[in-house]
Amino acid sequence: MIYRELAPYLKERYGARTQRVSLAYFRTCPNRDGTVGVGGCTFCEETGSGFANRFKSMSVRDQMINGIEHAKKRYNAKKFIAYFQSFTNTYAPLNELNSVYRSAILEDVVALDISTRPDTFPCEIAELLKNIRDEYDIDIFIEFGLESINENTLAKVNRGHSVAEFVDAVGCAKKYGFEVITHVILDFPSDTIYDVIGCAKLLSAVGVNGIKMHSLYIAPHTAMEKEYKEGKLTPLTANDYVYRAANFLSYLDPKIVIHRLISTPPCDAIWSIGLTNAEAKKRIESEMKENGKIQGSDFDYLNGASWRKKFLS
């Protein structure tokens, strides 16, 4: 096995084919409404980087009912994860969050998966989710968007938070025993390969459980589209992404589950690296095989690695 894949992990954990059901409810984030910024991240399209908004006229419970039925027919799924995908899904009052989260818990739902920003995950929300977990005996997955460890890149794309908020939020989620998944974009032009490797090291050190790897794409009606058309942004190539992804995986703790290898751009994207998930998988695995790498083959840098190399090897 070159890297730890999601589907076998979920089947082992829950004993059956387990499928996420994407949900849309929340409509904004602190980087759009003026709390920390306006306009959102420069790469974020109007749907909040999630396609579940096609269901925005339906209640969360109806979305779950329809999604479960679809997953049963298409994937023969037996267990389900309620996935709050678009925008910032902890950015609301506690009483509203409590009601919305509970409305997604139906029969055979084994987990709530909540995608959010690291600067919108206080201890009050962690406590609320702990209570829901204990009452319903389900798992809690928290997905934090980090995107890059390069502070200059984070400022350039208008993230509105730094790496510090991410480390703090992961610590809180881990304290409550939640499963932490992190989103990273591996091919920002302002990042170097050293940023990518450093990102793998940081995520391994703080003990995240899962990773969603993303390739950059440029969506219409975004600030990044304007930069691209004005010649202020030159994206990297598919070859660059494959090289960076292979190196990222080799430095990553082998226990971490890979939830995604590449982005799926919208059909109207202005630009993308042009690889399907299957093509990316094939090329990344080929790159790793050619260089004798697997996930974690360079995971040798924690727990006083230099001292151990000198005195225990």
Confidence at residue 100, expressed as pLDDT on a 0 to 100 scale: 97
In a domain, 91, yes or no: yes
Number of domains in the chain: 1
CB 271 within 8 A of CB 217: yes
Confidence at residue 28, expressed as pLDDT on a 0 to 100 scale: 86
Confidence at residue 52, expressed as pLDDT on a 0 to 100 scale: 47
Q: Determine phi and psi for 213, rounding to 5 degrees.
A: -85, 135
Confidence at residue 39, expressed as pLDDT on a 0 to 100 scale: 85
In a domain, 237, yes or no: yes
- Rounded-to-integer distance, Cα 152 and Cα 134, Å: 40
At which residue do the structure tokens 């006229």 appear?
A: 57
At which residue do the structure tokens 């989103």 appear?
A: 183
In a domain, 1, yes or no: no
SS (H, E, C) the chain: CCCCEHHHHHHHHHCCCEEEEEECCCCCCCCCECCCCECCCCCCCCCCCCHHHHHCCCCHHHHHHHHHHHHHHHHCCCEEEEEECCCCCCCCCHHHHHHHHHHCCCCCEEEEEEEECHHHCCHHHHHHHHHHHHHHCCEEEEEEEEECCCHHHHHHCCCCCCHHHHHHHHHHHHHCCCEEEEEEECCCCCCCHHHHHHHHHHHHHHCCCEEEEECCCECCCCHHHHHHHCCCCCCCCHHHHHHHHHHHHHCCCCCCEEEECCCCCCCCCCECCCCCHHHHHHHHHHHHHHCCCCCCCCCCCCCCHHHHHHHCC
In a domain, 163, yes or no: yes
In a domain, 267, yes or no: yes
Confidence at residue 37, expressed as pLDDT on a 0 to 100 scale: 84
In a domain, 36, yes or no: yes
In a domain, 50, yes or no: yes
Report field, pTM of the whole predicted structure over 0.85: yes
CATH code assigned at 117? 3.80.30.30
In a domain, 165, yes or no: yes
The residue range of the domain holding 18 is: 6-311
Q: Is the dihedral of CA 128, 132, 135, 137 positive or negative?
A: negative
**Residues in the chain with pLDDT values less than 50:** 52-53
Confidence at residue 313, expressed as pLDDT on a 0 to 100 scale: 80
